[in-house]
Amino acid sequence: MPTKSFFHGADWNPEQWPEPVWAQDLALMREARVTAATVGVFSWSRLEPSPGVYDFGWLDRVLDGLHAHGIDAVLATPTASPPPWFTQAHPDALALRRDGVRLVHGSRDTYCVNAPAYRAASLGIASALAERYARHPAVRLWHVHNEYGTWCFCDHCARAFRGWLRERHGTLDALNDAWTTDFWSQRYADWAQVLPPRATQYLGNPAQELDYRRFLSDRMLAAYTAQRDAIKQVAPQAQVTTNFVLGGWVPVDHARWSTEVDLVAIDHYPSSLDGAPAQSAFAADAARGWSAAAGRGGRWLLMEHAPAHVTEDGVQRRKPPGMLARIALAHIARGSAGAMYFQWRASAGGAEQWHSALVGHAGPDTRTYREFRALGENLATEGRAPSYRSAYRKVPFPTDDACAAGDAEVHEAGCGDVAVWFDEVCGWGVGASHLPAPVDYQGIVEDWHRALWLRGHHVDVVPPAATLAGYRVLVVPAAYLLSDESARSLDEYVHEGGHLVVTYLSGIVDEHLRVRGGGYPGALRDLLGIRVEEFDPLPPGAVVTLDTGDVATGWTEHLTAPRAAVLARYPDGRPAVTRREYGAGVAYYVSCALDEASTARLLEGICAAAGASPIVPGLPDGVEAVHTPDGVWLFNHTDEPHEVAGRQLPPGAVARLAD
């Protein structure tokens, strides 16, 4: 049945409402052709009102109700928000902030992932849910926890951190070396002296900070896999995931986690209304890239996004008419198995009572609900949604073989022309380091992605583990931290014929944030045929015009180009942008932060030389083109009509080019 093919639904919190409202909700869901509802995300205090005492009656009725209405459940484990009885009994399991303040319950995510009591209690509730519901016919997907990413600096963490460090570094000498502890007299003489990076007098140790993020990521992953394995022990065929939240503040290495989930799932909340289409495309391309590199076939799911608004500088800006469906379909075109929302019904009270919902405080008679219902009708109609891979309609979850085959499909689908390198661990390294100027790693990566997106390229966002062969152009922006292995794979990529664009601040430090000497970028100097002597960041607002007319902002460098041709020079004649032929390929170096127009010009030339063509040439600004096996889909994100390849696109339209 086609209505089952896409995930079309939302987080549903029936425990916040009397049961007669559930019946209304289910009827409305059916009317809107909802295929899936996420339930139980924050229900721990209802499911286990006191230690070891479970109340599953209400969830039985919720799941039965969903099933009776032909709606699948995405069943969550509620471990992101332990109940008050838990924290009262185990004060040591409350999160300790960096500055030593012990948090108390009253919000959510107030727990220490390394506290034995927390781990035991969360495994307890997850196992109890698995026992009861693993074979429930409504359950299509398990959603462990919610947006892992909680920080803690307590003594449980300190102990576990030491154990993790011993495994990673082996000896204290190796740790001292990796963390450069001779700087500021930090040399450790005993493991007991090693602490989490708690509040200290002045700048902390960047390598310690980076290892702590890696450690938290690994520990949270272990907490996730423990729950996943408990579920699979009861139901080996169960499909299990957790919802990733993107953002540099989260100590979770999503590329690595993607190998442990059955379906990569992300939540996405853009930070500006006008920027939402480009930001959504970036997040979607990143999710697809994680999935493909993890052998999951490029398949992924948008688990949450906001129905009616985008929060911009603290202001909830309403989505204009049509945007709800357009953004959902754009995600689906980029490989999502559907588009889920947070949330179904707006809460009457509680911290997020003003968050938008599909059914708002006014009830279903609103533009948002009507648009959502129309989207449901669209998705339920075979052939009217841009399916990234038509197999989605038939096979809810690919087998391992299909995943392996799917990896190839990502390239075959025409999405393999151009890629942008994105490594969250590198972003952590940038964040931990006291750089010569503030640097927003993800912002820089998104700028390069956006430049390609605006020009109508279908871009893959790839983690370091990705297979690079097959991309005509690969952009590596601000890859400050680059392992030897990554440097080798970039070398091989160019040698084999790839066109590599490396930007300033790439290849500077190793995985312990130690500078690679001899001239920047130590890891890529030979490949690029250049040598950077010094950085020369610009003050805010300053610009430098290159001899090509291109404009540099923010960052410049002093470099020589002993083995590369110079494509653009700074006013004093020094090289700014270089090009080196290497093996069968070409390696470009961009030593400055170019403005948007200059970036676009540069990329246009590089892509043309590499034979990487836009999906649709000459795309107007704000019109998005996505290449799917169902053909090219166009999304007019503007409120103007446009003509694209002979096709009239009314304002806000979504259309297939061939139709």
640 carries an active-site annotation: no
Selection from 63, 2, 64, 71 nearest residue 31 by Cα = 71
Q: Would you say 480 and 508 are in contact if contact means Cβ atoms under 8 Å apart?
A: yes
Binders of ligand GAL among residues 289 to 318 (CB under 6 A) are 304, 306
Angle between helices 424-432 and 206-234 in degrees, nearest 10:
150
To ligand GAL, the closest distance from the beta carbon of 127 in angstroms equals 23
DSSP-derived letter for residue 538 is P
Q: Does 245 bind ligand GAL (CB under 6 A)?
A: yes
Check whether the bond before 614 is cis (ω within 30° of 0): no
**515 DSSP 8-state letter:** B
CB nearer to ligand GAL: give 108 or 601.
108
| CB 280, min distance to ligand GAL, A | 15
CA 73 to chain centre: 23
DSSP tag of 369: H
Contact residues for 177 (Cβ-Cβ < 8 A; gap 6+): none
Least distance between ligand GAL and beta carbon 355 (Å):
5
Closest to ligand GAL by CB, 341 or 421 = 341
Binding residue count for ligand GAL, defined by CB under 6 A: 10
Nearer to ligand GAL, 270 or 521 (CB): 270
Nearest distance from residue 80's CB to ligand GAL, in Å? 8
Integer Cα distance of 634 and 217 in angstroms: 38
Q: How far is the CB of 347 from ligand GAL (least distance, A)?
A: 10
Tell me the C-alpha distance between 393 and 337, whole Å: 9
From start to end of 422-528, where are the E strands? Answer: 459-462, 473-476, 499-503
Q: Given the complex with ligand GAL, which of 352 and 412 has the nearer CB atom?
A: 352
- Give the burial class of 485: count Cβ atoms within 10 A of its Cβ; 0-12 exposed, 13-18 middle, 19 or more buried: exposed
- Toward ligand GAL, which CB reaches closer, 307 or 456? 307
Residue type, 162: R
Least Å distance between CB 385 and ligand GAL?
25
CA 311 to CA 400: how far, in whole Å? 39
If you search the block for the tokens 């289910």, which residue do you land on?
Answer: 26
CB of 352 to ligand GAL, least distance (A): 6
Q: Are strands 7-12 and 264-267 parallel, antiparallel or unpaired?
A: unpaired
Active-site choice (48, 147, 424, 511): 147
Between 95 and 266, name the residue whose CB sits nearer to ligand GAL. 266
Q: Does 147 bind ligand GAL (CB under 6 A)?
A: yes
- Nearest alpha-carbon partner for 197 in 183, 207, 187, 208: 208
CA distance 284 to 460: 9
Q: Which of 15, 19, 31, 304 is catalytic?
A: 304
Q: Does residue number 146 form part of the binding site for ligand GAL (CB under 6 A)? A: yes
Instruction: Give the per-residue contact string, 593-632, with ligand GAL (x = CB under 6 A; - = no).
Output: ----------------------------------------
Task: Identify each DSSP E strand in 313-429 by its residue range.
Answer: 315-318, 336-341, 418-421
CB atoms within 10 A of CB 201: 5
Nearest distance from C-beta of residue 356 to ligand GAL, angstroms: 9
Rg (CA), the chain: 25
SS3 content of the chain, % helix, strand, coil (to 5): 35, 20, 45
Instruction: Name the residue nearer to ligand GAL (CB basis): 78 or 297.
Output: 78
**Residues 471-510 interacting with ligand GAL (rule: CB under 6 A):** none
User: What character string, x for contact with ligand GAL (CB under 6 A) and - otherwise, covers 260-279?
Assistant: -------x-x----------
User: Is 179 or 224 the residue whose CB approaches ligand GAL more closely?
Assistant: 224
* Active-site residue, 147 included: yes
Interacting residues with ligand GAL between 327 and 386 (CB under 6 A): 342, 352, 355
Catalytic residues: 147, 304
Give the footprint of ligand GAL on this chain (CB under 6 A).
146-147, 245, 267, 269, 304, 306, 342, 352, 355
